[in-house]
Amino acid sequence: MILLGIDTSCDDTSAGVVVDGRRALSNVVHSQVEIHHPHGGVVPELASREHIKNIMPVVEEALNRAKVGLRDLDGIAVTIGPGLVGALLVGLYYAKGVSYASGVPLVGVNHLEGHILSIFLEDQVPDFPFVALTVSGGHTNLYYVEDFGQYALLGQTLDDAAGEAFDKVAKISGLGYPGGVAIERVARQGRGDRIRFPRAYLGKGSLDFSFSGLKTAVSLFMKNWEDHPDDVTLADIGASFQESVVDVLVDKAVLALRQKGAAALVLGGGVACNQSLIERMKARAVEEGARLYTPRPEYCTDNGAMIAVAGYHR
Ligand code: KG4
Ligand code: ZN
């Protein structure tokens, strides 16, 4: 079964063609980073307008690279939420139009289900049940996944998402947007144990997250530091911030593994590109007798292929 997957939930216009929910024939992403960069974050109205410009060429490119035409498709999957409403509407109505004109059936997909299932685009896939941590610009969610379509939410962020914290800290540090990549790069030159930023655990056994206090702590530190710079570098601040986020994500994911007695941990979402997170998570999972599964970066960040995977199982 061949599906075209389309995602326009945030600032990437993306489309991919996937066979049987497993093998990607193409995955095309048109990034809007250049458009939003001067604003230090995604401007929803600009995102919608960019999607309108790019949706047709991106889908055509995805079909061309996969060497399939509309007639070869068994289905079209499109993200229906969560995301920026104006941005979502562009992909949804484009997909409805193509479906109506071509007669290819359409299925609506939850963006987070796409992130959870993106690992199925890789050769090595986990057995059910597994624990999934989806960490992106909009979400920090822990799930217990018993099967395709069976997701129990174990915990989520009560305020900022992990990626949002990276983006905001990058902005106040003058590192620009998007923040995750910028902070990871600068953190490589710094010491993560230089500053002890807070870690919010929200009580024993809690699988929820909170990153807004951390963001405020970094912001306050930066104000004092700018007035009285000492031997602490911006790299130290970035590394110490990253260390704090990684500590909490790893501890909570391991706690979820223990609580559920699961043997596999799956990462997804843009923050799952972070090498420091992957390395620490892998080491801790091994200690727990569990195995870590991480999609390659192109399938961690928003993409159409993961939407085709989720659509196939729907
Ligand atoms: O999944 P995604 O592409 O879009 C959403 O659904 O939000 O995730 C984007 C988020 C951004 O906040 C970005 O700063 C973060 O993922 N991110 C990273 C890294 N690469 C992207 N965060 C930390 N380290 C990275 N290497
Ligand atoms: Zn996403």
> Which atom of ligand 1 is the closest one to the Cα of 115?
1
Percentage of the chain lying above the pLDDT 70 cut: 100
Average pLDDT along the chain: 96
pTM score, whole prediction: 0.96
Q: Which amino acid is at 153?
A: L
Nearest to 118 by CA among 128, 108, 132: 132
**Per-residue pLDDT tens digits for 14-40:** 999 999 999 999 999 999 999 998 888
Report pLDDT for 7. Answer: 98
Percentage of the chain lying above the pLDDT 90 cut: 93
The total of other beta-carbon atoms located within 10 Å of residue 60's CB is 12
- Whether ligand 1 lies within 6 angstroms of the CB of 138 is answered as yes
* 191, pLDDT greater than 80: yes
Residue 308's pLDDT band, with cuts at 50, 70 and 90, is: very high
Looking at all shown ligands, the one closest to residue 33's CA atom is 1
**Per-residue pLDDT tens digits for 103-122:** 999 999 999 999 999 999 99
Looking at residue 261, the DSSP 8-state letter turns out to be T
**Per-residue pLDDT tens digits for 221-263:** 999 888 777 789 999 999 999 999 999 999 999 999 999 999 9
- Whether ligand 1 lies within 6 angstroms of the CB of 274 is answered as yes
**Ion ligand 2, residues whose Cβ is below 5 A away:** 136, 302
Report pLDDT for 17. Answer: 99
> Which atom of ligand 1 is the closest one to the Cα of 83?
6
Residue nearest to atom 23 of ligand 1 (CA): 180
Report pLDDT for 178. Answer: 83
DSSP E strand stretches across 199-247: none
* 265, pLDDT greater than 90: yes
- Whether ligand 1 lies within 6 angstroms of the CB of 10 is answered as yes
Give the H or E element holding residue 309.
Answer: helix 304-313
Report pLDDT for 163. Answer: 96
